[in-house]
């Protein structure tokens, strides 16, 4: 029997969305990120200002043959965005390609799936513009053996609470000095920096290829790691040991972004065994490019069986969604696209 099922929203800016050929570039040759309150006209290409993103993100492309994929363990996925029917196709778990037919704010949806690992892939088949904003997935989090809830619109049956344990990567003292939190360790030549914008958004970062940031944990059924994305970030890998969920081997991500964005979900995994101790290893794969960690979060399981729960990973706090699925309004992007 599967663990309790939750609705988890992962925003398009998360590096756990794998974009091809590139996650950031020109619309006609790559994917490109837009923010609702950060028009291109305000971007400082000299980088004398930090180009901190404002508003809601959206990834867009007009490149025929562009693709994206996202993997999860669960029973449903709803990919939010906008596009034209027939201008893209999707496959689930390597099955037959299905022509795209957007409806109700979703590019594609699958529910009632077997509780197991799934991978959704979207491919563009024309030069018509396609936009992606988030993926809502029903995933397993909580104690194994609890009652299952199928579907995204199951009525709320009981009250529920979620407790989560957070560990910021950097401890900032009252005098402004910084140090690495004891839950984290580093390995490799670095350099490792603990005071990079510590007062605004503390993080441990490195620009050294092969440099690693590690942490271990137990008594948790899921883990979420947050950091930043920016133009000077690059590829990194994450290894979970022992393997679990969709992290059956080392996974590679990329945190490159035109805009500087905080609280990007740089790694997450669910369906973990609370009786096991896990180690997570981040490794920088690009010399001279940044890789960082702001915090790790472990959701607890203080809830009653049968309650519908939901998380949005665009912010640090987890919260209960009483209304199930909420649609994005995409019209405000029209002035930027």
Summarize pLDDT for 255-267 with one digit per residue, the tens. 999 999 999 999 9
Contacts of 278 (CB under 8 A, 6+ apart): 216, 217, 218, 220, 223, 240, 241, 242, 244, 272
- What is the reported pLDDT for 244? 96
Query: In the structure, what pLDDT confidence band is assigned to residue 314 with cuts at 50, 70 and 90?
Result: very low
For residue 141, the model assigns a pLDDT of 78
d(CA 178, CA 182): 12
Across 64-91, average pLDDT: 98
| 175 vs 14 pLDDT, higher one | 14
- Summarised one tens digit per residue, pLDDT across range 99-133 is 999 999 999 999 999 999 999 999 999 999 999 99
Confidence tier at 163 by pLDDT (50, 70, 90): low
Q: What percent of the chain has pLDDT over 90?
A: 74
pLDDT confidence of residue 125: 98
Tokens 């992290």 correspond to what residue? 247
Who has greater pLDDT, 179 or 4? 179
Read off the pLDDT of residues 21-61 as tens digits, 9 standing for 90 and up.
Answer: 999 999 999 999 999 999 999 999 999 999 999 999 999 99
The pLDDT value recorded for residue 199 is: 72
Give domain limits for the chain.
5-46+56-156+303-333, 164-299
pLDDT beyond 90 at 89: yes
- Give pLDDT, residue 139: 93
| Comparison of pLDDT for 167 and 156, the residue scoring more | 167
Q: Are 246 and 270 spatial neighbours (Cβ–Cβ below 8 Å)?
A: no
CB 289 within 8 A of CB 208: no
**Class at the top of the CATH hierarchy for domain 5-46+56-156+303-333:** mainly beta
Distance CA 13, CA 88 (A): 20
Q: In this structure, what token pair is assigned to residue 26? A: 């020109």
- Is residue 181 a contact partner of residue 167, using CB atoms and an 8 Å limit? yes
DSSP tag of 160: B
> Does residue 272 register a pLDDT over 50?
yes
Higher local confidence (pLDDT), 18 or 220: 18
Q: What is the pLDDT of residues 201-251, one digit of tens each?
A: 999 999 999 999 999 999 899 999 999 999 999 999 999 999 999 999 999
pLDDT of residue 29: 98
CATH number of 164-299: 2.60.120.260
Cβ-proximal residues to 298 (8 Å cutoff; 6+ apart), any chain: 164, 165, 166, 217, 220, 222, 223, 224
Q: In the 8-state DSSP scheme, what is residue 181?
A: -
Q: Give the mean model confidence (pLDDT) for residues 318-331.
A: 31
The pair of structure tokens assigned to 101 is: 């037919």
């Amino acid at each position: 029997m599967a663990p309790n099922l939750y609705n988890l929203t992962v925003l398009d800016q998360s590096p756990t969305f794998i974009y091809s050929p590139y996650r950031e570039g020109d619309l006609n040759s790559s994917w490109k990120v837009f923010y609702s309150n950060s028009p291109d006209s305000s971007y400082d290409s000299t980088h004398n200002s930090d180009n901190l993103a404002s508003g809601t993100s959206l990834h867009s492309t007009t490149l025929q043959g562009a693709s994206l994929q996202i993997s999860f363990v669960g029973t449903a996925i709803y990919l939010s965005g906008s596009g034209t029917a027939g201008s893209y196709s999707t496959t689930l778990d390597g099955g037959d390609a299905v022509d795209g037919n957007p409806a109700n704010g979703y590019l594609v949806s699958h529910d009632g799936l077997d509780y197991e690992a799934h991978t959704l892939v979207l491919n563009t088949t024309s030069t018509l513009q396609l936009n992606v904003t988030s993926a809502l997935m029903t995933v397993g989090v909580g104690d194994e053996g609890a009652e299952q809830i199928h579907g995204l619109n199951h009525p709320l049956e009981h009250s529920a609470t979620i407790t989560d344990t957070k560990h910021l990567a950097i401890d900032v003292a009252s005098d402004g000095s910084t140090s690495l939190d004891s839950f984290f360790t580093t390995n490799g030549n670095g350099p490792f920096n603990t005071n990079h914008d510590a007062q605004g958004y503390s993080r441990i970062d490195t620009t050294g290829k092969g440099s690693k940031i590690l942490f271990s944990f137990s008594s948790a059924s899921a883990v979420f790691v947050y950091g930043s994305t920016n133009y000077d970030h690059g590829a990194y890998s994450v290894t979970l040991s022992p393997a679990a969920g969709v992290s059956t081997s080392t996974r590679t991500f990329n945190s490159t972004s035109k805009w500087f964005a905080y609280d990007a979900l740089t790694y997450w995994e669910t369906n973990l065994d609370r009786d096991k101790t896990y180690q997570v290893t981040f490794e920088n794969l690009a010399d001279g490019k940044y890789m960082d960690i702001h915090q790790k979060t472990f959701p607890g399981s203080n809830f009653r069986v049968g309650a519908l729960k939901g998380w949005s990973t665009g912010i640090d706090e987890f919260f209960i969604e009483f209304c199930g699925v909420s649609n994005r309004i995409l019209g405000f992007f029209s002035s930027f696209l």
